[in-house]
Amino acid sequence: MELTQEIFEFIFTKGVFEWFDLTEGTRDGDTTASTFEEKDIPPLTDEHTHQKIVARKFHHLTVTDFPLRGRPTRLTFRRRYWQLEGQQEYLKRDSTLVFPGTQLEQAFAAFVQEDGRDGSHLAGRPRQIPDDPGVKEFEKPYTHYLSGFTTWSQRDDADRWMLFPENIGSQLSIDDVAVTKGALSTVLTNKAAYGKQGALVAMMEGTKVCDLTPILAKIPFEQRMRVTEVTLEMSASMTAMVKQAFPNATLVLDRFHVQHLVSEAVQEIRIGVRREAITDENHQITHAQQDKQPYRPHTFEHGDTPKQLLARSRSLLFKPQSQWYDHQKARATILFREYPTLKTAYELSMMFRACYEDSTTQSEAKEKLTHWYQKVDEQDLESFLVPAESIRLHEPTILHDFIHRSTNAAAESLNAKLKNFRALVRGVRDKKFHFFRVAKLYG
């Protein structure tokens, strides 16, 4: 749907369209995007009569979460700059946008007139939020008048919890994320929304079952009973909370969290072996100094010392051999020749990975897991005993993965977006308003 300038004349002050033209105005679903470009009317005076304009630049100011009737809206203003022949500095127009009628006009005028003196906001360079009093003044009326924050129904409790029962679906994901100052929040998402608007079902401060279960209980019981599957990590508190809140749901342990347990066991062995290599190297350096001889470290055929070999082998131990590059294959050959324990650990890790990748049914996966348990017991590697026991205890929920092959990727994706949004707005000062913006984007 195309939006015309006449529509925006009812929203902005009268003076805006004396100097700006609407160059883009579209609505795609619930999202509105518009771009206003300053007219090419250079502010020339009598002293500029014989000077030609040799260059033009644009300065972009963008508001990414300006809501119109509760819909996400992107407003972009493109200010023009003109450079005259023989001058290094650019001219700009100081538009008069102060007209009687609204509380916003003085702040909005300062916002649009921001001149970006450091040049970093000009087109073609990374956009930064200008440190300008006019822009900061615009934030207040935007927060309290334009955004709809003051009339938001969840405003009073937003810093502790937000609920969107209308977004609930049959398949959910639950995870925790550090939203502000390292404090963890529990996030419940709908897989069907694919991390877009409508993905957020609940965001709650903390991870305690006793605090979060009463909040989820505010969702109508009929809606909670429609949930048939919840994907989560290996967390006792999350498991207890999901069982109480969604009694009809099947719990599925995310495969990547489970595989991470086994990968950590391999890395634990690698770190232990590397620590021994560093200790041996220290002893050799000490003996060389005592004998007043230069220290010459032992190196393998590809040039690595034992310490370097073990440090540079970290990434290849996470991947199957089919994904190794040629230099990783060469390094792995030396690594497994010199440190057989690491080879055994790597083979156990890949064997567990195959339980997921090569199994198509629960019974087939259970058979492969039983065989893997036996191998772990035979090798008797201490680093693998604890992960193997944890997997054995959680085997029923692990095997649920083979019903729909569900993962927690949707929750992890939304968590990454929340962290990126926090970085984009340069931290969180007002938690309630920050969560209001999150609700507009994903609620």
Q: How far is CA 292 from each of CA 14, 282, 298, 299, rounded to the nearest angstrom?
A: 86, 15, 18, 21
CB 267 within 8 A of CB 317: yes
162 pLDDT more than 80: yes
pLDDT score for 139: 59
Residue with tokens 């007002």: 430
The 10s digit of each residue's pLDDT in 372-404 is: 999 999 998 899 999 999 999 999 999 998 888
C-alpha angle 153-158-161 in degrees, rounded to nearest 5? 110
How confident is residue 442, by pLDDT bands cut at 50, 70 and 90?
A: confident
CB 224 within 8 A of CB 246: yes
The 10s digit of each residue's pLDDT in 227-284 is: 999 998 888 888 999 999 999 999 999 888 899 999 999 999 999 999 999 999 999 9
Q: Which amino acid is at 366?
A: K
pLDDT score for 237: 87
pLDDT score for 352: 93
pLDDT score for 11: 62
109 compared with 22, residue with greater pLDDT:
22
| Rounded mean pLDDT, 22-27 | 80
Distance between CA atoms of 127 and 189, rounded to whole angstroms?
A: 31
Residue among 68, 94, 67, 64 at smallest CA distance from 76: 64
180 compared with 107, residue with greater pLDDT:
180
Q: Which amino acid is at 261?
A: L
191 pLDDT more than 60: yes
351 pLDDT more than 90: yes
| Rounded mean pLDDT, 83-108 | 58
| Rounded mean pLDDT, 123-152 | 55
74 compared with 12, residue with greater pLDDT:
74
115 pLDDT more than 70: no
- Domain 155-254+407-442 sits in CATH 3.40.50.980: no
Q: Which of 44-53, 96-105, 401-410 is predicted least confidently?
A: 96-105
Q: How high is the mean pLDDT of the chain? A: 80
pLDDT score for 271: 94
114 CA to centre of own chain: 31
| Most confident stretch, 54-63, 98-107, 144-153, 362-371 | 362-371
pLDDT score for 437: 82
Domain limits, CATH 3.30.420.10, in the chain? 155-254+407-442
| Rounded mean pLDDT, 144-156 | 77
C-alpha angle 239-241-246 in degrees, rounded to nearest 5? 95
What percentage of residues in the chain have a pLDDT greater than 90?
33
| Rounded mean pLDDT, 287-307 | 88
| Most confident stretch, 11-15, 123-127, 190-194, 425-429 | 190-194
436 compared with 275, residue with greater pLDDT:
275
pLDDT score for 118: 38
- Tell me the whole-structure pTM to 2 decimals: 0.64
Q: Which of 38-47, 109-118, 291-300, 341-350 is predicted least confidently?
A: 109-118
pLDDT score for 12: 63
